Structure 1
């Protein structure tokens, strides 16, 4: 069984270090792991859909914003929806897909971390409230059986069915590793 200690740089299988070669975190960062992409997503979650509005809100250079929007569309996080203002040419709005919407907990976690460690002395610049009752939104981790998880020391990483693992410097598929 794999264990994790905050002082360790990688998880271990028994006493043998292992690294998942097809890491989901690494793959996700390959798509969204860049400042402008997160700012585009922040605006999309805030309801901004049009290029000019997104550029004004993010301050991104036109070419950078165009490239980020194209990548997010290509990766399936945003979709283009055509619109036309009277007397203008057709343009596209950018709307979150389900794949994009599923990034919301990550965005909220980043915001809460920033609020905790980087806010001004007066407090966070934005608060998230539940539309139904007005209470502040909080994030919690729970296992599938409903137990609340306080932090990483209560979590044990184990190989998933699709893991490709390197143990002691030699590549292997998770099914090949002893567990």
Structure 2
């Protein structure tokens, strides 16, 4: 039942949530801060669904074997479950980072000072009514993709391990 409620929240468009989220951030005093950009979107329905599906396939016999060996729940989680879930965690980190990095509407609403603008909002300021600075836009777009490329290269090993984890050797 709870998973169904979480999945239904995925069907709510972001535009519907803008006003209530803005009011929450204003009451917390987080307007024009980076906390307002990061914290509301750390835990989302897709992440919960992705991790749940990954943990459903986890073999219960490994956890039972750890309990028989006398491992605590915390040690079982850190030593057995977490290493197996690394590909899903890496995918979730990359997905969350890319969706936040490319976010435009929410940072545009939350940030007032130009020195705090995110890259998509800052790139939008280069588009004027009568003139567009294409060279600056292209350079900014290139610089905006570099952190995404670096993040993918860092987590590439976990992706390959996740893809090859179910492969048949022989």
Question: With structure 2 as the length reference, what TM-score do the two structures score?
Answer: 0.25
Higher strand share: 1
